[in-house]
Structure 1
Amino acid sequence: MGFQQGLSGLNAASKSLDVIGNNISNANTVGFKMAQAQFADVYANSLSGGGTNSVGIGTRLSAVAQQFTQGNITGTNNPLDIAINGAGFFRMSTNGAITFSRNGQFQMDKNGGLVNSQGAQLTGYVADSNGVLSTGAAVPIVIDVSDVAANQTTSVNTKINLDSRELVPKTSGTPPVTTLVAFNPTDPTTFNKATSVEVFDSLGNPHILQTFYVQSNRLPLVAPVTKEWDVFAVVDGVYPPVTPPGLPAPIPTNSIGTVGFDAFGKLSKVTPSAAATPFAFDIRIDVPSTGAVTPIFTPALVKFDLTGSTQFGSPFSVNSLKQDGFTSGKLSKFNTSKDGSIVGSYTNGTTKVLAKVVISNFVSPTNLQSLGDNQWGETAMSGQPLTGSPGSGGLGLLTSSATEDSNTDLTGELVNMITAQRIYQANAQTIKTQDQIMQTLVNLR
């Protein structure tokens, strides 16, 4: 049996060297998981049952077990590269056939799909034009690269502080003031302070909305108002075409209304106020046509909300100013968040969720079938895939613009190679020794 034992040992050492060599050759393969050769001893069956003095007849390769330990995460310059930090596999689809991979090197094909170098498509949930993700089964991800539509401005929210120490601009008449000089946006002596904000019509065309604040000190005032300011609006250098009706006299022409503050500097009145918002004006954004061309955009009624504004004895300041409109935009870049959401950034400064990557894990990933090209396939022994969003159910998180290195321990594998070589030499020596014994028997007289 010495020859058979030695031969099995040579075969085992050769297989071990094959596995080690494969690990070393893939030390730079992204997402590669090293394998370990596992062996079992071999015993011949006894006719009378198991015996305590049985001698084994060698060894055999029991399994080549892959080691799904975490590889190092390395940053890249490709925003489509994704690394899994933790448990799980990318779920890939090739003409409907599902495979699994740890290699997150992706690129965009001509249809906007995210694919690997073999053309397999990354799967997940795709968002509609409003950024709402689909539900149900995961599907191949296709990125919508079309322009994002413009959004017409409907509201402007601002918080300002008007200086209570401000005096009435030059007037006609003797105080108490009853008549102000005509407001002129180009004459700073006819107003106290001004602000401006960019707003957008239905086609995404930008317009400059300016608001001017004129201290009126109008008497008599009705409690709790202790001081009033006239507010004027100018859009692209012209007055809004429609002035809200019902303004109390003696408000100057083209004023959109007044604001009043109480004795503690809090905003207490806006006249006339917008519907359902007591401290807001309605301003119509409607620029007249110039020449023979008539604008085709839809006029917008912008709610100019002053809620939270104050009148303190401190310099004028704009503490907050934001509006909800934007122009159209092109997709400029996108990245993947930790939970798998692919977020697109557009040239107009907006962002939108385009898709969401899902990953899968298995009860027994070591029993997955290696298919090559960094792909694994489901088997009966691995169990069914447990698919979900990254970070949920024990699944790992994603890192954008990064890849997972091979988990091959190059130093350890070189040591293992030396050990396997010595094992090979030792088994060869047993065959040599057995040959010498046989030669001695042959030479007996």
Structure 2
Amino acid sequence: MGFATGLSGLKAASTDLQATGNNIANANTVGFKKSRTEFGDIFASSLGGVARTQPGSGVRVTEVAQQFSQGSIDATENSLDLAISGNGFFTLADDINAPQPTAFTRNGAFQLDKDGNVINDRGQFLMAFAPNGKTAADGFSQGVFGPLTIDTSQGLPEATQNVNTQLNLDSSRALPATAPFDPTDATSYNNTTSVTIFDSQGNAHVASTFFVKTAAPNEWDLFTFIDGFGVTAGTAASAGPPPVAAVASVINDGGTTPGTPNLPGAPVTMSFTSSGLLDFVGAAGSTAVDFVDIDLSVIDPNINVDPLSFDNDYLGSTQFSTPFSVNNLNQDGLPAGNLTGIDVSDEGVVFARFSNGGSKPLGQVALARFPSDQGLAKLGDTIWAESATSGQPIFGAAGSNNFGSVQSAALESSNVDLSAQLVRLIIAQQAFQANSQTISTENTITQTILNI
């Protein structure tokens, strides 16, 4: 039995040497997971039971167990390099139309193919959940998989929907020296503001608002011009010099409508309380505290675009005896833009960033985890597949349901500790030599017996 025992030790030590050598060889392989050789003793038994004097029959390798501990994360300069910090695997598919991922990896070194699909170096597609709307807040269709694609075409323009204006009108100002109001005569109004807004084709328009103090206490008239044309009464379908506009609604903070708004030549009137807070006065003379916005619908019949409808929000505007000031003036429209970069959030949401300052979600990277990571089948190139011992994959998004977070411009290094593996290599080598000595000793004993 000595030869068999020694031979089993040699085989086990040889396997350990191979596993340790493979770990050392892949010390610099992105996403690689080291293996550990596990042993079990061989114990002979008889029909009558195990004898107390049975010394054993050697050793065997019970498993070369994969170790899925976290590797260190190293920064890169490629935004499509992704790393998972915590649980989970990136999901891959060989077929762009695959209904579900078929392979899994921790190697996040991705790139674009000629069609803008995100792939790995084997040409497998990175799978993602599609966005439900234009923003990440609209959520993603988890459970519905598709290849992550980076659209390199122009970023679509977005028509202005909201203009936010927060200002202070100086209550100590005198009435304009000239009447009636004329936008070309600076003496016929007290103050003015301008903001660039955009239509559905991304064309820029300048919206100018003029403020004229009236003889009525705490009241100001408000005149709006788009590209130098006054906003006049009418409907969006009216003919005439552009832009023809209609005031669609005036909404207060409580959601009430204080009456039909005035239009030039009866301008919209802003009214302030004695404490300097903004009221609104409609054509019917009714008032409401905390005036919020005017909804304008504007059309230019010379340009084939959708009517430009936006809310002009004046919430927070005041009338104090301090100089005129604009504390906030912004709008949410965007012109067309070119793709300038890719951003990836910790939740794995991939955003396209455009030169117009806008961004849009392209998808959320789909992750997978398993009841038993060690049961995964190796496919090579740091890629694994589901097996009977791993259990079925559980899919989800980064940062939820026990999944780790995703880091962009970073890669997970091999989890091999080179120093520890070199020590392990020495131990495996000594084990191999010791077992060869067992065989040599058994051979000497056998030769002694034959020579008797």
The separation in 2 between residues aligned to 1:127 and 1:302, in whole angstroms, is 26
Superposed displacement of residue 189, structure 1: 3.4
Contact 1:270 1:278 in 2 (8 A): no
1:149-176 CA-partner distances (Å, limit 9, x unpaired): 32222432211111112222324xxxxx
Query: CA distance change for structure 1 residues 362 and 102 in 2, over 3 Å: closer, same or farther?
Result: same
Q: Report whether the alignment pairs 1:211 with 2:209.
A: yes
Which amino acid is the alignment partner of residue 229 of structure 1? W
Match of 2:271 among 249, 260, 285: 260
Instruction: Tell me the SS of whatever aligns to 1:427.
Output: helix
Aligned residue number for residue 226 of structure 2: 235
Cα gap change, 1:406 to 1:279, in 2 (>3 Å)? closer
What corresponds to 1:421 in structure 2? 429
Question: Please, which of 385, 405, 408 is the counterpart of residue 413 of structure 2?
Answer: 405
In structure 1, the residue matched to 2:110 is 106
Residue 299 of structure 1 deviates from its aligned partner by 4.0
Deviations 1:173-194 (A, max 9, x none): xxxxxxx255344x43333222
Q: Give yes or no for the alignment of 1:432 onto 2:432.
A: no
Give the deviation of 1:143 after TM superposition: 3.5
Moved more, 342-351 or 146-155: 146-155
Following the alignment from structure 2 to structure 1, what is the Cα–Cα distance between the partners of residues 386 and 393? Answer: 8
2:116–2:149 contact (8 Å) kept in structure 1: yes
Distance 1:236 1:269 in 2: 26
Q: Is the 8 A contact 1:37 1:63 kept in 2?
A: yes
Query: Retained in 2: the 8 A contact 1:260–1:268?
Result: yes
Instruction: Letter of the 1:208 partner, please give it.
Output: V
Corresponding residue number in structure 2 for 1:177: none
Distance of 1:57 and 1:397 partners within structure 2: 48
Amino acid at match of 1:48: G
Other-structure match for 1:121: 125
Query: CA distance change for structure 1 residues 123 and 112 in 2, over 3 Å: closer, same or farther?
Result: same
Runs of at least 4 residues of structure 1 off by over 6 A?
Answer: 243-248
User: Are 1:63 and 2:63 counterparts?
Assistant: yes
Partner of 2:44: 44
Structure 1 position 198, deviation (Å): 0.7
Deviation at 1:411, TM superposition (A): 0.7
1:286 positional shift? 4.7
Match among 160, 173, 196 for residue 166 of structure 1: 173
Return 5+ residue gaps in structure 1 as ranges.
Answer: 172-179, 289-293
- Match of 1:366, SS state, is helix
Larger mean Cα displacement after TM superposition, 263-272 or 193-202: 263-272
Structure number, greater radius of gyration: 1
Counterpart residue identity of residue 164, structure 1: S
Matched, 1:192 2:190: yes
C-alpha contact (below 8 Å) 2:176/2:187 kept by paired residues: yes
Aligned residues: 419
Aligned to 1:140: 147
- Give 1:108 deviation, angstroms: 1.7
Deviates more, 1:335-344 or 1:34-43: 335-344
Q: Is contact 2:109–2:411 with CA below 8 Å preserved after alignment?
A: yes
Q: Distance in 2 between matches of 1:129 and 1:282?
A: 24
Q: Deviations over 1:280-319 (max 9, x none)?
A: 445564558xxxxx42234434433323211012222212
Q: For the aligned residues, what is the CA RMSD?
A: 2.8
Q: Distance in 1 between matches of 2:291 and 2:357?
A: 31
Secondary structure class of the residue paired with 1:158: strand
Percent of pairs with identical residues: 41
Deviation at 1:405, TM superposition (A): 0.8
Q: Matches of 1:228 and 1:40 in 2, distance apart?
A: 92
Over 3 Å counting, the alpha-carbon distance change for 1:394 and 1:241 in structure 2 is same
Shift of 1:128: 6.0
1:6 paired with 2:17, answer no
The match for 2:346 is: 338
Deviations 1:116-165 (A, max 9, x none): 11111122212367456335432333334443432222432211111112
The aligned residue for residue 316 of structure 1 is 324
AA partner of residue 202 (structure 1): S
C-alpha contact 1:159 1:319 (8 A) present in aligned 2: yes
Deviation at 1:240, TM superposition (A): 3.6
Measure the CA separation in 2 of the matches of 1:69 and 1:239. Answer: 68
> Which residue does the alignment assign to 1:392?
400
| TM-score of the aligned structures, taking structure 1 as reference length | 0.86
